[in-house]
Amino acid sequence: MRQLPPLNALRTFEASARNGSFAAAGKELFVTASAVSHQIKTLEEYLGIKLFSRSKRTVELTPSGKQYLVSVKHALNEIEVATHRLTASKETNVVQISVAPNFLTRWLMPRMSRFREMFPDIELRISASVGLLDFNQSSTDMAVYYGNGEWDDIEVHFLQKVMLVPVCSPKLLEGKHPLRDPGDLRNHTLIYVSTRMWEWENWFQVASSEYITPKDSLQLSSSQLTTAAAQENLGVALADLTLTSREISSGNLVVPFNIPLDTRKAFYLVHQKHRPLTTAMKAFKEWLIAEIQAPDVYGVESELSANVPGTASGSGQRQ
Amino acid sequence: MRQLPPLNALRTFEASARNGSFAAAGKELFVTASAVSHQIKTLEEYLGIKLFSRSKRTVELTPSGKQYLVSVKHALNEIEVATHRLTASKETNVVQISVAPNFLTRWLMPRMSRFREMFPDIELRISASVGLLDFNQSSTDMAVYYGNGEWDDIEVHFLQKVMLVPVCSPKLLEGKHPLRDPGDLRNHTLIYVSTRMWEWENWFQVASSEYITPKDSLQLSSSQLTTAAAQENLGVALADLTLTSREISSGNLVVPFNIPLDTRKAFYLVHQKHRPLTTAMKAFKEWLIAEIQAPDVYGVESELSANVPGTASGSGQRQ
DNA sequence: ACCTATCATGAGTTTTTCTCAGCAGTCTCG
DNA sequence: CGAGACTGCTGAGAAAAACTCATGATAGGT
C-alpha cells in the first residue's frame, strides 16, 4: 500500500516553486493566490516540514523544499511525458531524434536531404546532445548514442564503428618538419579531446611507436573542434575516417599515417524498449541502417590511397 | 505551463492495476469500489483512451493501460520515496546499503562485526544487487558498485581495484597435470563467468602466453560461483586476490601463477549527489574507506609467496 | 507617505469526490 | 441447476475538498 502526499498539492507546489510566487502560480493554474496558499499550507502540514520561507513579500524555497522539488518535478514531468505519449495520435509523422553532435554534423546533416526526398511526409526534429537521455523524461523518440553499446533498458542497434586516424591540413606536410613515420609527430602540435586524452597514447601503441611528448599540445572540448583545428593547420588530430571522408576527399584534410585506432566505441541507434514504433520511426530507423551500410557516397576508400604517406604531399595542391 | 491529468485519479489507477480489481483497490484506498469506478472513468475520459477492458466480472489492463501504468508507477514511486526521505527524521541511525554480491560476501560480511563493535547504535540494512540502482526509486542510502567508476549524477568514491589471478584447489596441483607455466592450463578446466568470457583471454595476454583452448570449460553466472567451483576442485578460475585472501591463506585455494590481470574495474562506494549525509551514513562511509586502506587482516601478501609456483605444492599440505 | 504587490487566514461557496442503492452479469458450490 | 457471493456500472444525493472573497499585514517602489 502506498503512502502518498496530497497529489494536487504537489502540482501547486511545483508551479509555485517554478514561478517563485504564489500569485504567479495561481495565474498559471487559473486559481487565486489564496487557493495556492491554502494548498501549500495543506502540503506543509501533511509533511510536517516548511517548504517555503515566507518573508511577507516574497516566498523562497527552504533547503528541504529545494530537495523535494527535484523529485516532484521529475515525477510530474514523467507523468506529463507519459500522458502526452499516450494521448498523442499513434500515427504522427513527426519523429524527434537526439543525435551525438559529431555524428549529426558530419554524417546525418549531409544526408538529410536524401531522407527528405525519400520521405517527404516525415518531419524529423533533430537535436544534438552528448551522453545518455531519459526517454521517460523527454519526448524524444529515438537517439544516436556514441559509446560501447552497453546500455540498460533500451533497444540498441549498432550503426558504425569509430576508427581514429591522424588527420592534419595538407599545408602541414609542406612545412619543414615532414611526417614520414609516427615519431616525426614530436615536431608537431597534437590536438586532444580533453575528455579523451588517452586516445593519442593508444594510437602510438597501435602504431608500434613510443609515445612521444609533442612539441605542443592543444586541448579542445569536442571532436568537432579538434577536426576543425586540424583543418585550420593548428596541428594533428585524431578523427574518424568515415566522418571526415568529405574533408579528406576534398583535400582539406590529409591522413599522414593510415594506421587506424580501434576505439572499441561506436555509434548506435537507440529507442525505448517495448515501445511500438510509429511508421515514421520505423522508416527513419530502416533508412538509417540501410544508408550506413551503403557504400560511401564520397568514395573515401579510393581517395584515401592518394593521401597516405608518399603521395600525401601531392594532395596539398588542391587547397 | 504543465498539462497534467487528474493526479488523484492516477493514484486510483495505479492501485486498481496493482490489485487487478476495483473493489480491492477501493479497500486499499479506504473508499468504495464505486468511487474507484468513478475515478477511472474520469481518467479515461480525460485521456480519451480506455485503460481497462471490462469483462463484466473482472477488469484487465488494455495495452495502452499497461504502457501508461509503467510510467505512472514509476512517477508515484519517486514521489513516495522522496516524501518518505523528507519526512523521515534527519537523524536516523539506520543506513540502507546495496552491495555488489562478491564484495558483500567476501569483503563486507567478514568485517561487519568490526563495524558493529565500533558503532553499536548504527543499524545497517544490507542487500545484494548487481548493476546500477536508481536512488530516486529506492530508499537505499548508499551502494557499493562494481565497474569502471564512470557513472553520472552520483557521488563516487573509489574503494579498491579488482586484480584477477588464477586460483584453484591445492589438490589440482597434485594431479598428473602440473601447472608450471600458463600453457599447462590446456590440460585443465577453465572456469568462466558467463558475462565476462574475455577475462581469461586477457589474462593469457598479460601472461605473455597464447590463448589456449582448455580441455574443458565451465561457465557460471557469477564470480562467487566460479571461486566456489575452483575451491571444489572443478578447475581453474580467475578471482580477485584481495577478496579471496581468506581462502588463499587458509590453503583452500592456491594461486598457481601470480600474474595479475588488471581488469580496469574496481569497487566504488556511491551515494546520491547533493544529499547531506546523516551521521550514520558518514560513519559507515568513513569506516569503509579506512578499513579498505588498512593492511589486510589476513596477511595475504606475506602468505601469498608461499602459494606461488615452486612452493605451491607445499601449501597443499594444509587441506 | 502613498500606492501597489504579495501572502495569510477564516468564513462561506463551489466543485469534486465519495457513498448509497439498485441493476446486471458471472463464477462457485451444494 | 439455481441460490448466494462477487464484481462492476450508474445516477442521485451527501460529504469532503478546493476555491473565492474579504480582510489584514508587510514590504518595495515612486
- Of residues A54 and A10, the one with the higher pLDDT is A10
Inter-residue contact B14 to B20 (CB < 8 Å): no
DSSP 8-state assignment for residue A278: P
Answer whether B7-87 and B94-161+266-293 agree in fold: no
CATH topology of domain B94-161+266-293: D-Maltodextrin-Binding Protein; domain 2 (3.40.190)
Q: Which of A40, A102, A142 is CA-nearest to residue A226?
A: A102
Computed on alpha carbons and rounded to an integer, the radius of gyration of chain B in Å comes to 27
Residue A30 is which amino acid? Answer: F
Contact B86 A64 (CB under 8 A): yes
* pLDDT beyond 90 at B118: yes
**Sign of the dihedral defined by the CA atoms of residues B220, B223, B228, B234, in that order:** positive
- Least confident range from A202-216, B21-35, B142-156: namely A202-216
Entry field: residues in chain B: 319
Name the 3-class secondary structure at B59: strand
pLDDT at B177: 82
The answer to whether B55 faces chain A, any CB pair under 8 Å, is: no
DSSP 8-state assignment for residue A254: B
CA of A2 to C1' of D4 (A): 34
Q: Which of residues 68-87 of B touch A (CB under 8 A)?
A: 68, 70-72, 74-76, 78-84, 86-87
Candidate ranges A170-184, B120-134, B208-222; pick with highest mean pLDDT: B120-134
Residue A309 is which amino acid? Answer: P
In terms of DSSP H, where are the helices of chain B?
A: 7-19, 22-29, 33-47, 63-87, 101-103, 109-118, 170-174, 198-206, 223-231, 245-250, 279-293, 300-304, 312-315
pLDDT at A316: 34
Distances (CA, A) of A240 to A200, A221, A223, A258, B216: 13, 16, 9, 12, 41
pLDDT at B297: 54
pLDDT at B301: 46
Tell me which architecture the domain covering B7-87 has in CATH.
Answer: Orthogonal Bundle (1.10)
What's the pLDDT band for B95 if we cut at 50, 70, 90? very high
* pLDDT beyond 60 at B313: no
User: Which nucleotides along chain C are within 7 A of a protein C-beta?
Assistant: 5-11, 16-22, 25-27
pLDDT at B184: 86
Nearest nucleic acid nucleotide to B24, CA to C1' distance: D7
Q: Which residues contact A210 (CB under 8 A, 6 or more apart)?
A: A183, A204
Contact list in A for residue B275 (CB cut-off 8 A) is 67
In this structure, the number of other CB atoms found within 10 A of the CB of residue A17 comes to 22
Question: Across-strand partners of B220?
Answer: B193
Question: How do residues A292-309 score in pLDDT, each as one tens digit?
Answer: 987 665 444 444 444 444
* pLDDT beyond 60 at B50: yes
Distance CA B241, CA B227 (A): 11
Residue range A162-263+299-315, CATH number: 3.40.190.10
Contact B74 A131 (CB under 8 A): no
Percent of chain B with pLDDT over 90: 55
Question: How do residues A40-83 score in pLDDT, each as one tens digit?
Answer: 999 999 999 999 998 877 899 999 999 999 999 999 999 999 99
pLDDT at A1: 84
For range B268-291, the mean pLDDT: 92
Inter-residue contact A108 to A99 (CB < 8 Å): yes
Inter-residue contact B70 to B57 (CB < 8 Å): no
Q: Which residues contact B252 (CB under 8 A, 6 or more apart)?
A: B169, B170, B231, B319
pLDDT at B3: 93
pLDDT at A67: 92
Inter-residue contact A154 to A270 (CB < 8 Å): yes
CA of B35 to C1' of D17 (A): 15
- The helix-helix angle for B22-29 and B33-47 (nearest 10°) equals 110
- Least confident range from A160-174, A203-217, A274-288, B21-35: namely A203-217
pLDDT at A206: 85
pLDDT at A297: 54
The answer to whether B90 faces chain A, any CB pair under 8 Å, is: no
List phi, psi (to 5°) of A76. Answer: -65, -35
Mean pLDDT of chain B: 87
Inter-residue contact A284 to A304 (CB < 8 Å): no
CA of B16 to C1' of C13 (A): 33
- Of residues A293 and B79, the one with the higher pLDDT is B79
pLDDT at A55: 81
Strands across the sheet containing B189-193: B123-128, B94-99, B142-147, B261-272, B154-167, B236-240, B189-193, B216-220
* pLDDT beyond 50 at A318: no
> Residue with C-alpha cell 530516486?
B136
- Least confident range from A101-110, A212-221, B43-52: namely A212-221
Question: How do residues A202-240 score in pLDDT, each as one tens digit?
Answer: 898 888 777 777 778 888 888 888 998 898 888 899 999
Closest residue of chain A to B70, computed from CA coordinates: A82
What's the pLDDT band for B236 if we cut at 50, 70, 90? very high
Q: Which of B162, B272, B75 is CA-nearest to residue A71?
A: B75
Q: Please give the grid coordinates belonging to residue B99.
A: 552491495
Nearest nucleic acid nucleotide to B19, CA to C1' distance: D7
The answer to whether B290 faces chain A, any CB pair under 8 Å, is: no
For range B251-270, the mean pLDDT: 92
* pLDDT beyond 90 at B70: yes
Footprint of strand C on the protein (CB under 7 A): A 21-24, 33-34, 37-38, 40-41, 52, 54, 56-59; B 6, 8-9, 12, 26, 29-32, 34-35, 38-39, 42, 55-57
The answer to whether B2 faces chain A, any CB pair under 8 Å, is: yes
For range B182-189, the mean pLDDT: 86
Question: Across-strand partners of B163?
Answer: B262
Distance CA A196, CA A194 (A): 5
Question: Across-strand partners of B268?
Answer: B145, B158
Mean pLDDT of chain A: 87
For range B197-203, the mean pLDDT: 89
Contact list in A for residue B64 (CB cut-off 8 A) is 86
Q: Name the residue ranges covered by the structural domains of chain B.
A: 7-87, 94-161+266-293, 162-263+299-315
